Amino acid sequence: MALQQVADEVRGCTRCALSAGRTKAVPGEGNVRSDVLLVGEGPGAREDATGRPFVGPAGQLLDELLSAIGWQRADVFITNVVKCRPPGNRDPEPVEVAACAGYLDRQERALDPAVVVTLGRHSLQRYLPGARIGAVHGHLRRSSSGQHVFPMYHPAAALHQASLRETLFSDMRGLPAALLAAREAIGGERTTAVQAESTTADDVEQMTLF
């Protein structure tokens, strides 16, 4: 499976300096058939120790957020922009994000999600460069490549700024409707594409009659 191959490569990756300080790389995990891909920023200390995403305090809050809409981890796929822990939990540097970009690209292609939920500003910038999280959080957007994106604050932000907790829950409650809208848009686009292909085929058939 493509996702397993990516995971194996991530665990042996030495593309950037983060690999030298890691305990375990964190490729990502979850439902490989999910329509929802959650993309965080980078592993923390507990993630580095276990090789699993969002298992520390921020992960506990993420579990609460999912539970608030009747979901659980088994309903989504979770990964990060960078797959190894930045020292001291600092922000990932551009060269580190670039080194991991190909892995995330391949995960997206394999999963083909209807919606990518960006958790935090670094994840947001990958899909909506220049967007401000304060202006776009909780609203469905389209990236330049056509991907449906649902920006949210990173759960860790609410651990440091309590006022963001309700914002996170409010945004999460809007995710099911955003997912439905994305699915309907994708379905409409695919129907239009099929109709266009059918029309082209009919045109060709008509041309062969003369």
- What are phi and psi for residue 153, nearest 5 degrees? -70, 155
Tell me, what DSSP letter sits at residue 88? G
Q: Quick check: 128 and 136 in contact, CB under 8 A? A: yes
If one counts every other C-beta atom within 10 angstroms of the C-beta of residue 125, the result is: 16
Domains in the chain (CATH in brackets) are: 2-207 (3.40.470.10)
Predicted TM-score of the model (pTM): 0.89
Which residues does residue 80 pair with via DSSP β-bridges, in sequence order?
A: 40
Both tokens of residue 175? 């995710």
pLDDT in tens, the chain (210 residues): 799 999 999 999 999 999 999 999 999 999 999 999 999 999 999 999 999 999 999 999 999 999 999 999 999 999 999 999 999 989 999 999 999 999 999 999 999 999 999 999 999 999 999 999 999 999 999 999 999 999 999 999 999 999 999 999 999 999 999 999 999 999 977 565 555 565 555 555 555 444
pLDDT tens per residue, range 72-117? 999 999 999 999 999 998 999 999 999 999 999 999 999 999 999 9
**Cα(186)–Cα(180) distance, rounded to whole angstroms?**
10
d(CA 119, CA 124): 7
C-alpha distances in Å from residue 149, one per residue of 71, 85, 136: 19, 25, 10
